C-alpha cells in the first residue's frame, strides 16, 4: 500500500457532496438524473441520503465508499471492484444531471461543482482499478 489514496479521495467526495448538498438545498436543486425526479413516496428527509441532489450524490454512497476505502487501499479485489462501481455510478449521476449541462437555471459556479465531481469520479475509478492485487500476489 502506497499511502491511502482512496481514503483521501473518499473523504474529498464526502466533503464535496456535503458542500454540494448545502448549496443545492439552498437553491432547491433537486437531483433529476435523466430528468427523473425523486419518487413521490420518498420522504423529503430521505432524499439527501438516498437520492442526492443536483450537486451531490446520495450520502449513502459516500458512506459505502468510506467503508470500502481501507480494504481497497490494501488491494482487496472485491473492495476495489465495489469502489469502481460506485465511482462509475458517481460519473453517470453527474453526467445525467440537467444542471451539469446548464439545462436548469442555477449559479454559473455550480458547473464547477459538477466538474469537481467528474474529476473525483475519474480519480476514484483510476485508483481503485490500480490498487487491486491478484490473489497470487498477496504475501
Task: Specify the pTM.
Answer: 0.83
8 A C-beta contact, residue 85 and residue 64 = no
Task: Identify the bridge partners of residue 30 per DSSP, sorted by sequence position.
Answer: 53
Looking at residue 132, its pLDDT comes to 56
* Beta-carbon-side half-sphere exposure of residue 57 (alpha carbons within 13 Å): 29
8 A C-beta contact, residue 32 and residue 98 = yes
8 A C-beta contact, residue 58 and residue 52 = yes
Mean pLDDT per 10-residue interval, the chain, length 139 residues: 74 92 86 86 82 90 93 89 93 91 78 90 86 53
Looking at residue 1, its pLDDT comes to 42
Alpha carbons 120 and 43: distance in angstroms, whole number: 29
Amino acid at each position: 500500500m502506497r499511502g491511502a489514496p482512496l481514503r483521501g479521495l473518499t473523504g474529498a467526495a464526502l466533503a464535496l457532496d456535503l458542500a454540494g448538498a448545502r448549496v443545492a438545498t439552498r437553491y432547491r436543486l433537486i437531483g433529476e438524473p435523466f430528468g427523473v425526479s425523486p419518487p413521490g413516496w420518498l420522504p423529503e428527509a430521505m432524499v439527501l441520503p438516498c437520492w442526492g441532489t443536483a450537486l451531490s450524490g446520495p450520502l449513502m454512497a459516500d458512506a459505502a465508499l468510506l467503508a470500502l476505502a481501507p480494504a481497497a487501499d490494501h488491494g482487496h479485489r472485491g473492495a476495489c471492484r465495489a469502489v469502481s462501481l460506485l465511482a462509475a455510478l458517481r460519473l453517470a449521476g453527474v453526467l445525467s444531471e440537467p444542471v451539469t449541462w446548464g439545462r436548469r437555471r442555477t449559479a454559473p459556479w455550480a458547473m464547477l461543482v459538477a466538474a469537481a465531481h467528474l474529476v473525483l469520479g475519474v480519480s476514484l475509478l483510476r485508483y481503485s482499478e490500480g490498487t487491486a492485487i491478484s490473489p497470487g500476489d498477496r504475501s
